[in-house]
């Protein structure tokens, strides 16, 4: 006799009835029940302009929830919608009442969402998370001028790399030549005119001659670069002469990205020609990508790479939650962020920090004078030559400050490796700002979830301690009613 397994089959379409019966121990269900959605809804609606006209918008829980899922799971826009479409727990998290097989919205809507939001929006949401978890700094003393102080402010700066090809002069000139040909073909196709002759073939031949060589001498690179500059200059002149003879304006025929690409190509050509003629390798506001002209090379001097390409951010940590205080696509000295971070700390929490933990680049002479005038502690070594005999009363506090500042270094590593802050795939400057803010906000959401789990575990531990104490005292008759009451409180 043959035996068969007694496995039962379940109908997943029963989920269409309601999602309220899902397991409450799931992380998405816990986040959906615990995040301050009402405050998030108010902050999100302030970013919209459809108060008096326009179509209705998606709920903030659906939009922000989809962004959190995207960055927590390291998914693309299309994969994020597919994942929510298949997962009932994620559908509960974004605010759906019943399970549905339809996508919550089109993946292209993510672009509009990223244009609508920025890092300041996610800083406001992080503040709501800190308030909901009770992790806000409290005032513990008042200085001589009557200003309240409390909490520790940890600040540092890093670079969030964008997804782009490593820039070389030959590759940039090749991209410019290709874009001139593409835009001119598109323009001639729309106005139905014959395309003028370009020197694209000569430029392409010279470029391939260079890239096919395994080892390239400096003389060969300069020779090919001279040919590429000459061909691109001729093609740009041909393009300008062609659009100058048109009866219609180019702006009414070409799309905005095409015009932006032509403008970037012209600027890049001027920079490359100037550097070639002067024999230099750097210039002001150098373009390193025609498709992302806002990106600048940022010299960081790290062991992995001396130069990084992306946005430079100044971040601060307060009670474990990360805020993006300053975001810039140009290289700048992060010592200027100290005053800004103190002002934002006072604006968010209503008090001044008691202590600041920062790298030595922040503690120049001007910033030390500022901290002294605001009565803020900073246990770092003083400027100048160290003394021969170390008699420092604050030696232990200095060691603790150095160890405490490691938290923000770990935050940068986690944000880049786990949440994708080191691989920004948004191509526009404003959408990339939103991407960076969403990465660190997703990290803050996981911090909020850990605080939530720690809170429940603490409740259960107190409950079992009291039950064990009553059992040992011989109050067996009172244990059962007490257990029922405590179970109701914990649940």
Kindly report, residue by residue over 155-206, the tens digit of the pLDDT: 999 999 999 999 999 999 999 999 999 999 999 988 888 999 999 999 999 9
Q: Is the residue at 58 inside a domain?
A: yes
pLDDT of 475 reads 52
Answer yes or no: do 315 and 187 share one domain: no
Nearest partner of 156 among 324, 355, 303, judged by Cα:
324
Q: Which residue has the tokens 């996981």?
A: 446
CA distance 25 to 44: 28
Domain, as residue range, for 485: 453-490
- Residue 438 is predicted with a pLDDT of 94
CB atoms < 10 A from the CB of 414, how many? 17
Residues in the chain: 491
Q: Is 241 left (phi over 0), alpha (psi -120 to 50) or beta?
A: alpha
Q: Do 237 and 336 lie in a common domain?
A: no
Residue 221 parent element (H or E):
helix 218-244
Q: Is residue 287 part of a domain?
A: no
Whether residues 408 and 356 fall in one domain = yes
Question: Are residues 481 and 415 part of one domain?
Answer: no
Q: Regarding beta strands 152-161 and 355-357, do their DSSP bridges make them parallel or antiparallel, or are they unpaired?
A: parallel
Kind plus residue range of the DSSP H or E element containing 457: helix 429-472
Residues 307 and 444 in one domain: yes
Residues 236 and 96 in one domain: no
| pLDDT score at 460 | 66
State mean pLDDT over 316-339. 93
State residue 322's pLDDT score.
Answer: 95
Note whether 81 and 198 are same-domain residues. Answer: no
Residue 388 has a pLDDT of 59
Q: Tell me the percentage of the chain whose pLDDT exceeds 90.
A: 59
State whether 152 and 174 are in the same domain.
Answer: no
Residue 3 lies in a domain: no
- Cα–Cα distance between 169 and 306 in angstroms, integer? 18
Residue recorded with tokens 């409180």: 489
Instruction: Tell me if 229 sits within 8 A of 269, measured CB to CB.
Output: yes
Lowest mean pLDDT, pick from 80-94, 392-406, 407-421: 392-406
8 Å CB contact between 170 and 224: yes
Q: DSSP label at 286?
A: -
Q: Is position 244 within any domain?
A: yes
Q: How confident is the model at residue 490 (pLDDT cuts 50, 70, 90)?
A: very low
User: Given a cut of 90, is residue 149 above it in pLDDT?
Assistant: yes
Q: How many CB atoms lie within 10 A of CB 388?
A: 5
- Please say if the pLDDT value at position 5 is more than 50: no
**Confidence grade of residue 468 (pLDDT, cut at 50, 70, 90):** low
The separation between the first and the last C-alpha atoms of the chain, rounded to the nearest angstrom, is 49
Higher pLDDT, 475 or 281: 281
Name which residue leads in pLDDT, 141 or 84. Answer: 84
Instruction: Indicate the pTM of the whole model.
Output: 0.86
The more confidently predicted of residues 299 and 71 is 71
Instruction: Confirm whether 342 is domain-assigned.
Output: yes
Of the chain, the percentage scoring pLDDT greater than 70 comes to 85
pLDDT at 383: 76
Q: What is the pLDDT of residues 235-285, one digit of tens each?
A: 999 999 998 888 777 777 888 889 999 999 999 999 999 999 999 988 889
For residue 7, tell me if it sits in a domain.
Answer: no
Whether residue 159 is found in the same domain as residue 306: yes
72 with 147, same domain: the answer is: no
84 has pLDDT over 90: yes
Average pLDDT over residues 313-337: 93
> Confidence band (pLDDT; 50, 70, 90) for 57?
confident
Whether the per-residue pLDDT at 479 is higher than 70: the answer is: no
User: Angle 260-266-271 (CA atoms, 0-180°, nearest 5)?
Assistant: 125
Q: How far, in Å, are 65, 105, 219 from residue 110 at the CA level? A: 12, 9, 47
DSSP 8-state symbol, 12: G
Classify residue 470: in a domain, yes or no.
Answer: yes
pLDDT given for residue 448 in this prediction? 92
Domain boundary among 245, 278, 311: 278
Instruction: Answer yes or no: is pLDDT of 109 > 80.
Output: yes
Lowest mean pLDDT among 26-40, 218-232, 246-260: 246-260
What's the CA gap between 356 and 371, in Å, rounded? 9
Contact 198, 235 (CB under 8 A): yes
CA-nearest of 321, 317, 320, 299 to 308 is 299
């Amino acid at each position: 006799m043959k035996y068969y397994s007694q496995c039962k089959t379940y109908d997943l379409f029963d989920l269409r009835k309601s999602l309220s019966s899902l397991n409450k121990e799931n992380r998405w269900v816990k986040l959906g029940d615990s995040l301050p959605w009402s405050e998030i809804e108010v902050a999100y609606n302030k970013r919209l302009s459809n108060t008096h006209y326009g179509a209705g918008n998606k709920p903030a829980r659906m939009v922000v929830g989809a962004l959190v899922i995207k960055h927590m799971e390291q998914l693309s826009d299309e994969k994020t919608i597919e994942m929510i479409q298949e997962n009932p727990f994620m559908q509960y998290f974004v605010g759906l009442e019943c399970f549905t097989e339809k996508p919550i919205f089109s993946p292209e809507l993510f672009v509009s969402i990223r244009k609508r939001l920025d890092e300041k929006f996610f800083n406001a949401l992080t503040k709501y998370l800190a308030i909901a978890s009770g992790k806000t700094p409290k005032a513990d003393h008042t200085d001589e001028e009557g200003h309240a102080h409390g909490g520790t402010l940890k600040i540092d700066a890093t670079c969030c790399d964008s997804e782009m090809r490593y820039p070389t002069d030959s590759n940039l000139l090749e991209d410019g030549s290709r874009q001139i040909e593409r835009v001119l073909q598109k323009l001639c196709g729309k106005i139905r005119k014959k395309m003028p002759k370009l020197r694209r073939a000569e430029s392409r031949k010279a470029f391939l001659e260079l890239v096919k060589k395994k080892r390239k001498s400096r003389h060969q690179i300069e020779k090919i670069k001279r040919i590429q500059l000459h061909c691109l200059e001729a093609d740009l002149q041909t393009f300008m002469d062609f659009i100058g003879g048109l009866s219609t304006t180019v702006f009414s025929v070409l799309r905005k990205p095409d015009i932006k690409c032509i403008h970037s190509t012209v600027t890049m050509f001027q920079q490359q020609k100037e550097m070639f003629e002067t024999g230099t390798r750097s210039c002001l506001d150098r373009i390193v990508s025609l498709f992302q002209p806002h990106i600048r090379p940022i010299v960081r001097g790290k062991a992995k790479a001396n130069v990084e390409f992306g946005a430079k951010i100044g971040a601060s940590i307060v009670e474990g939650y990360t805020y993006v205080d300053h975001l810039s696509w140009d290289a700048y000295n992060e010592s200027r962020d100290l005053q800004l971070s103190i002002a934002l700390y006072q604006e968010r929490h209503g008090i001044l920090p008691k202590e600041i933990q920062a790298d030595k680049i922040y503690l120049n002479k001007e910033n030390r004078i500022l901290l002294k005038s605001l009565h803020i502690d900073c246990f770092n070594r003083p400027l100048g030559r160290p003394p021969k005999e170390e008699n420092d009363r604050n030696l232990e506090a200095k060691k603790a400050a150095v160890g405490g500042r490691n938290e923000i270094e770990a935050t940068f590593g986690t944000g880049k490796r786990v949440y994708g802050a080191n691989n920004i795939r948004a191509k526009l400057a404003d959408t990339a700002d939103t991407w960076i803010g969403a990465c660190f906000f997703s990290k803050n959401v996981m911090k909020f979830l850990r605080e939530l789990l720690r809170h429940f575990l603490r409740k259960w531990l107190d409950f079992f301690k009291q039950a064990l104490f009553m059992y040992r005292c011989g109050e067996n008759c009172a244990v059962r009613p007490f257990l029922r009451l405590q179970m109701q409180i914990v649940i």
